[in-house]
Amino acid sequence: MDNQEKMENSSRTTAASAVAFTVLYLAAAFIPSLPEGADSDAEVLGLLRESDSRNLIILAGVLLPLAGLALLPFVSQLTASLRRAAPDSPVPGVVFGSGLLYIAMLFVSGNSFGGYATGIAVGELEMPADATLVRVLSDQGFGTLLVPGLMSAAVMVLASSLLARRVGVSPRWVCTVGFVFAPLMMLGAIWVPQFLVPVWTLIVAFTLRSPATVPDTRTPVGV
């Protein structure tokens, strides 16, 4: 396989990873009705009693980890491009680590959302008489996803944008988008900023230069 084929395969993998992550993440966010802290006890317990709504909650618990797995190739390719362009910089490690932390938060959130419903569905847990625990677990899922999850994503976005702007693995306008998105992600508690992650991922995936096309410079970057 020549370098051109490798670059094309790499670009396709990155794009496919971003698209799969986006589809799975949006499905998890919009398909099920998840219990919320402001819901009444009757509303919360009703979501678990009805098999259709309970199965959708379980689905959300599965889709979020799947979205995390789908994001792995993107994070890996982004890190490889940055490391190839700036081999002496510590920033690619920060990007990879924060990306993995974000993925881990997707797993934890999915388990918080779907764990109790799954236990009821398989007969290992009884329907709760009180909605407090269900509400707490759901709030924990939202909290994990929207606070430490988006903090980790913000670090990935900001660090990669800073280095990419310096070494040229992404167009400058893409880096500017990252500078705008990263602080907005820190406002994750208001729910909407979470969708900046898939938007940014798609933008970067379709504009990222392959490591093979980035000049190999040994000059320390020191970002």
Kindly report, residue by residue over 114-149, the tens digit of the pLDDT. Answer: 999 999 999 998 998 888 889 899 999 999 999 999
Measured between alpha carbons, how far is 114 from 106 in angstroms, rounded to an integer? 12
Give every CB contact of residue 107 below 8 A, 6+ residues apart in sequence: 64, 65, 68
Residue with the bigger pLDDT between 39 and 58: it is 58
Q: Note down the domain range covering 18.
A: 3-210
Check whether 11 has a pLDDT greater than 90. no
- pLDDT over 60 at 172, yes or no: yes
Number of domains comprising the chain: 1
**pTM, full prediction:** 0.89
Domain assignment of residue 222, yes or no? no
Q: What percent of the chain has pLDDT over 90?
A: 73
In this structure, is residue 215 part of a structural domain? no
Please tell me the distance from the alpha carbon of residue 84 to that of residue 49, in angstroms, as a whole number. 53
Tally Cβ neighbours within 10 Å of residue 193.
19
Question: Is the Cβ–Cβ distance between 172 and 164 less than 8 Å?
Answer: no
